[in-house]
Amino acid sequence: LGLFYPSLAGAGIHTMTYTYTGNNGCTISKTGKLTVNPLPEKPIITIQDTALISSADYGNQWYYEGNKITGAIDKQYTPHKYGRYKVQITDSNGCKSKFSEDYNYTTSVPEELNNDLIKIYPNPTESQLNIEIITSEYPTVDYTLYNVLGETILNSRIYLNGTKTIEVLNLKNKPSGIYLLTIKLCKNLYYRKIIVSH
């Protein structure tokens, strides 16, 4: 019985010969070629603002604390809680890479929005969402809206123009569901879950 180990043979085209000898002493041989595809490179995770970024453009699958995150298959993933994250790549041949090194996400998780400076309404909403900022202390406020897959849906900067500024987001064409709105005010990062219901 002959065995072929792709991991030992390595990537490439390998010539294999199978020989069989019957009880009558007759021997037959068959030769063919077998292609061993290379594994995808082990991905590397970096961070940009609050999002984790994979070094691979396609084929990503994100994991949290060793468990697969359903639907998290994009190059970018935005965590919503502390913990260890990693990513694995599957290429077009179905070959899987080694897991990335764990990324311990501890310093960038936003805290839930609960102050009098920023008001978000109406929530749930059918179409428009208002971000009302009641302060003249800061010149700008940045916001980002994510879907449940961690993909960026909207992001922009609000320039404050007095004691009260209202930014209106048009969500009429966005699918119904739960979204995450993050707001960066000076060095503080806040979030609020948004429900879109048509």
Q: What is the mean pLDDT of residues 174-197?
A: 86
- Domain tally, the chain: 3
Q: Do both 137 and 153 map to the same domain?
A: yes
Q: Provide the CATH number for the domain around residue 118.
A: 2.60.40.3080
Range with lowest mean pLDDT among 56-60, 172-176, 180-184: 180-184
In this prediction, residue 176 carries a pLDDT of 93
Q: What is the mean pLDDT of residues 31-40?
A: 86
Residue-wise DSSP of 117-145: SEEEESSSBSSEEEEEE--SS-SEEEEEE
In this prediction, residue 152 carries a pLDDT of 82
In this prediction, residue 122 carries a pLDDT of 95
pTM: 0.51
181 CB-near residues (< 8 Å, 6+ apart): 120, 129, 131, 143, 144, 145, 146, 191, 192, 193, 194
Is residue 108 within 8 Å of 187, Cβ to Cβ? Answer: no
Cα–Cα distance measured from residue 175 to residue 180, given in angstroms and rounded to the nearest whole number: 14
The domain containing residue 141 runs over which residues? 111-196
Within a domain: residue 56?
Answer: yes
Please state, for a pLDDT cut of 70, what percent of the chain lies above it: 94
Residue 121 pLDDT more than 60?
yes
Q: Do both 123 and 191 map to the same domain?
A: yes
CA dist 193 → 12, 31, 45, 141 (Å): 50, 62, 26, 18
Q: Do both 31 and 52 map to the same domain?
A: no
Q: Do both 91 and 152 map to the same domain?
A: no
- Encode pLDDT of 40-92 as tens digits: 999 999 887 778 999 999 999 999 999 999 989 999 998 877 788 999 999 99
Q: Do both 19 and 72 map to the same domain?
A: no
Residue 16 pLDDT more than 90?
no
In this prediction, residue 96 carries a pLDDT of 93
Within a domain: residue 1?
Answer: no
C-beta neighbour count of 87 within 10 angstroms: 28
